[in-house]
Amino acid sequence: MKRTIKLSPSNKRWIAVFAALLVCCILSIILIQNIGGRTAVIYKDGREIARVDLSRVTESYTIPLDGNVILVEPGSIRMQSADCPDQICVHQGMLHDAGRIVCLPNRVLIEMQHTKDAADAKAG
Ligand SMILES: [Zn+2]
């Protein structure tokens, strides 16, 4: 015995509504993650020394550290120069919304943070 389920027009409408809601949810999650994911946290010797919301940077500026110079630009951050022998941190390029730059010899870490952490920073 074979039965085919036919969708009535009202069922089809509900499916369309749910699909639209689902798309809205996914879009808002992506948007929230993009906003929250643009905070760069800079660590030196394992201690947090600066927190930069890259989405709010309007002009480029540098953060000089002992041995390193970090360049902050609108929407991105990178290691401009370093006195470490390997220069790996400088060659790691720019960070936009994810990832990290590590300078092992100078114990410097630049890390992009996730939505939850950014929200916590705002609340604190
Ligand atoms: Zn380095």
* Distant-in-sequence, close-in-space partners of 119: CB < 8 Å, separation ≥ 6: 36
Question: What domains are there in the chain, each with its CATH number?
Answer: 37-116 (2.60.320.10)
pLDDT digits (tens, 9 = 90+) for 83-100: 999 999 999 999 988 899
Please give the single-letter amino acid code of residue 60: S
pTM score, two decimals? Answer: 0.65
Under DSSP, the state recorded for 55 is G
pLDDT digits (tens, 9 = 90+) for 22-54: 999 888 877 765 555 589 999 999 999 999 999
Structure tokens at 42: 């800079």
Q: CB within 5 A of ion ligand 1: which residues?
A: 82, 84, 89, 103
Between the CA of 79 and the centroid of ligand 1 the distance, in Å, is: 8
Terminal-residue alpha carbon distance, the chain:
64
Between the CA of 74 and the centroid of ligand 1 the distance, in Å, is: 23
Antiparallel, parallel or unpaired: β 68-73 and 61-64: antiparallel
Q: How far apart are CA 88 and CA 103, in angstroms?
A: 7
Is residue 123 scored above 90 in pLDDT? no
Q: pLDDT category, 116, cuts 50, 70, 90?
A: low
Between the CA of 106 and the centroid of ligand 1 the distance, in Å, is: 6
Beta-carbon neighbour count of residue 93 at 10 Å?
Answer: 12
Between the CA of 78 and the centroid of ligand 1 the distance, in Å, is: 11
Between the CA of 85 and the centroid of ligand 1 the distance, in Å, is: 7
